[in-house]
Amino acid sequence: MRVTKIRLLLLVVVGLVGMVASCAQMKTIPGLPASHPEALVAGQQVNCAECHEDQQKGTMKAFSSFSHTQPFVKNHRFYAASDDRLCSTCHKSSFCNDCHTNKVEMKPSTIYSNRPDREFQHRGNFITLHKIEGKLDPASCYRCHGRANNERCIACHR
Amino acid sequence: MKKMCCTILCTASLFTLPVGAMAADVTVDSSTILGLGQSDREGEKKETLLPVTQFLGLTADKLGDGNVSLHFYGWGRTDLAGKSYNDNKSAGNLTYGYLQYRFKQANSNIRAGRLFVHEGIINEQIDGVSARTDLPLGFGLSAFGGATVHATHIVGENSDGRGDTVFGGRANYRYKGLFEIGVSGVFESAAPDLVTRAASDYRRIGGDVWIAPFRAVDIIGHSSYDLETKQFAEHSYLLNIKMTPQWILTGEFNQQNDQSYLYPWTSFTSAVLNPDDKSSSVGFSLLHEVNKNLGVVVDSKKYTREFGTASRFGGEARVNFMDNSIRGGIGYHYLDAGQGFAIAPNPTASYHELRCYVMRDTKSYFGAVDVLGDFFKDSIYEESRAWEASTSLGYHFSPALALSGSLSYGRNPQFIEEVKALLRLTYNITYSATGGKK
């Protein structure tokens, strides 16, 4: 019993020492800037590699992975899941929440009908098409409407 | 009670800043939208609709010691005439409102208030706190907890079927920009009982990975496991191969166990789904940046469900000219899908989709035209096609202030004719001379 207590105490001490050492070390870990140092043109398919080629430092991912090519924009969920702090150097949270939110007032494609280049979901006749698209890939509906933002789904899907 | 405490504490945290610390960089994003419409339903009187919606974002940076910031975004709507949605003449929502302390090192931050959390398999909106940091040797840690944001009203119920509190986090390890692995989990308190449908508990864990063995290749994705159904919920992975800077090949694989993935979805009683049913999709896209002004993509995707397979293929081209002030795109896709995916009683769900748009943005005026058409192999509700054309025109009174209007007309199986018009006043300004445009 006493041996167990001593081991637990040792474990706590080691843990505390580890935490203190980590905190001291953290001052040497670089962080991303709060915002991108240069303004970028709205609507541009930003090519990060234009300026950041071969600037991969420490444990950072290569900037070229984040160039806003058409496939990147289409698959941005993968990148935002583990690197939204990099996204936030250029995009405010509201940029994401135009689509990804719990409660919307109108379709993003209606709010930003002057920005057809942003490729919003649910353009045009989607009210008919969702009866097909929902069967094809229900996960694509669930990602936004499953846990939230489903008041309009429930209006019909009772 | 827990929920109320969290909400009160988080809201109160926004008012803890001393007034003297309010000298900050402030950004205001405002959009006021006046919609113009008419409701014309069979058996009902025609009704004119005039909803006014205000979207407002506010960011105050460099508060306190320079590392504190306040972030707010929300919207409110009132109907000047008619009822634009349900029985309420007004509505509103606080999308987020939080205070953030951002450390200069290690990408560390602490946030409190209403906020969104995106970490690994986690995508949550909470009234609570979140924190994260990079740790020595490539490790990283994040955690969050608070009250669930209940934003959905279900007719005949007193609850949206979600538990009142939620917490979770993610731990990760990165190695020299070559790979990253992460484990994450989200745990919600027990779902309340509902009268008209089943509500399910939401407790899920998962792992995510990013591997870049060579500069030209990366693999990124995640798998999640539902602790209630005791089954994998999803596998979702993406492969990018940058053959040259001008040619990028992308492949993706997604598979969901329907019952487990959809388990907490209150809209559908997912708990009664067959535990063996799966939804899968495999796809690829090939991008060719012909030059700085032209990019072309061809893509294809195959869907597999228990009632059949379907495939979609097509492509699109994007152009831009005059320093990006003129942009345009044209695309075509064809969905080949059988009866299992069709709207009854059609024998197929196949359709062609065509889209093209062009837009111009100058210092004084801006405009856009967007046309989208769907052509069904088998008519839906006796309509063989659906289409919508919309046009927008606006004027910048100053770099910060613009007025624009949009008008769209369409025909589709659901509404025969659909006309939408709106006026939009936008005001976006940053009271600061430093930093990038967000």
Q: How far apart are CA B112 and CA B11, in angstroms?
A: 8
Q: What is the pLDDT of residue B433?
A: 44
CA–CA dist B199, B197 (Å, integer): 7
What pLDDT shows up at residue B18? 47
Query: With contact defined as beta carbons under 8 Å apart, do B57 and B31 qualify?
Result: no
Q: In what helix (H) or strand (E) does residue A23 lie, and over which residues does it extend?
A: helix A2-26
Task: Kindly indicate the confidence band of residue B12, based on its pLDDT and cuts at 50, 70 and 90.
Answer: very low
Domains of chain B in start order, with CATH, are 1-41+48-85 (no CATH), 292-438 (2.40.160.40)
Q: What is the pLDDT averaged over residues B360-382?
A: 93
pLDDT of residue A3: 64
B273 pLDDT band, cuts 50/70/90, is: confident
How far is residue A21 from each of residues A16, B91, B107, measured CA to CA in Å? 8, 51, 18
**Most distant CA atoms of chain B, gap in Å:** 69
H or E, element range at B100 = strand B90-102
- ∠A7-B133-B213 over CA atoms, to 5°? 100
What residue type is B302 in one-letter code? K
Q: Is the pLDDT of residue B230 over 80?
A: yes
pLDDT in the model for residue A24:
67
Query: Using DSSP, how many helices (H) and how many strands (E) does chain A show?
Result: 9, 0
List the one residue out of B361, B386, B391, B384 whose CA is nearest residue B373: B386
Whether the pLDDT of residue B2 is over 60: the answer is: no
> Which of A20-24, A32-36, B222-226 ranks highest by mean pLDDT?
B222-226
Q: Is B116 on the interface with A (CB under 8 A)?
A: yes
Instruction: Give the three-class secondary structure for B12.
Output: helix
The distance of A2 to chain B (nearest Cα, Å) reads 33
Question: In the prediction, which pLDDT does A58 show?
Answer: 60
Q: What is the 3-state secondary structure (H, E, C) of A120-154?
A: CCCCCCHHHHHHHHHHHCHHHHHHHHCCCCCHHHH
So what's the pLDDT on residue B435? 42
What is residue B41's predicted lDDT score, i.e. its pLDDT?
Answer: 67
B340: which 2 tokens?
Answer: 């299992």
Statement: residue A146 has pLDDT above 60: yes
CB atoms within 10 A of CB B413: 21
Return d(Cα A100, Cα A135) in angstroms, integer. Answer: 21
C-beta atoms of B77 and A105 within 8 A: yes
pLDDT score, position B292: 86
* CB neighbourhood size of A51 (10 A): 11
Considering only CA atoms, which of B51, B58, B56 is closest in space to residue B31?
Answer: B56
Nearest one of B428, B369, B422, B421 to B397, comparing CA atoms: B428
Q: Taking a C-beta distance cutoff of 8 angstroms, is the pair A141, A129 a contact?
A: no
Q: How far apart are CA A125 and CA A56, in angstroms?
A: 44
How high does pLDDT run on average in chain B? 88
Distance CA A154, CA B63 (A): 42
Peptide linkage before B345 cis (omega within 30 of 0) = yes
Whether the per-residue pLDDT at B15 is higher than 50: the answer is no
Nearest CB among B121, B151, B287 relative to A102 is that of: B151
In this complex, the residue of B212, B245, B412 whose CB is nearest that of residue A61 is: B212
B151 contact A CB<8A? yes
Nearest-Cα distance to chain B for A11, in Å, is 20
* A52-66, B6-20, B298-312, range with greatest mean pLDDT: B298-312
**pLDDT above 70 as % of chain B:** 91
B207-224 confidence digits (pLDDT tens): 999 999 888 899 999 999
Please indicate whether, in this complex, the C-beta atoms of B218 and A65 are within 8 angstroms of each other.
Answer: yes
A-chain residues within 8 Å CB-CB of B179? none
Substitution target from A25, A70, A75, A95 for chain B, most B beta carbons within 10 A: A70
Residues of chain A in contact with residue B343, where contact means CB-CB under 8 angstroms, are 128, 131-132
In this structure, of A64-73, A147-156, B2-11, B46-55, the range with the lowest mean pLDDT score is B2-11
Task: Provide the ipTM.
Answer: 0.85
List the single residue in B with minimal CA-CA distance to A97: B95
**B266 has a pLDDT exceeding 90:** no
Q: Using DSSP, state whether B432 is helix, strand or coil.
A: coil
Q: How far apart are CA B269 and CA B198, in angstroms?
A: 6
Predicted local confidence at residue B5, as pLDDT: 46
Angle ∠(B239,B168,B268) on CA atoms, nearest 5: 75
Task: Return d(Cα B190, Cα B216) in angstroms, integer.
Answer: 45
Nearest CB among B136, B151, B281 relative to A103 is that of B151
Chains A and B form CB pairs within 8 A to the count of 312
Q: Hey, of A63, A85, A123, A128, which one would you mutate to test binding to chain B, going by the most B CBs within 10 A of its CB?
A: A128
What value does the mean pLDDT take over residues B337-347? 91
What single letter denotes the amino acid at residue B417? E
Q: Which two tokens stand for residue B70?
A: 């306040």
Q: How many CA atoms lie within 13 A of B49 on its CB side?
A: 23
Interface list for B 3-22 with A (CB within 8 A): none
List pLDDT tens digits, range B403-423: 999 999 988 888 778 888 999
- The confidence score (pLDDT) of residue A15 equals 72
> B400: which DSSP letter?
S
Q: What is the mean pLDDT of residues B26-47?
A: 83
pLDDT mean across residues, chain A: 81
Residue of B nearest to A94 (CA): B73
pLDDT at B116: 94
Listed range (A35-44, B53-62, B311-320) with the worst mean pLDDT? A35-44
pTM value?
0.87
CB contact under 8 A, A74 and B222: no
pLDDT at B60 over 90: yes
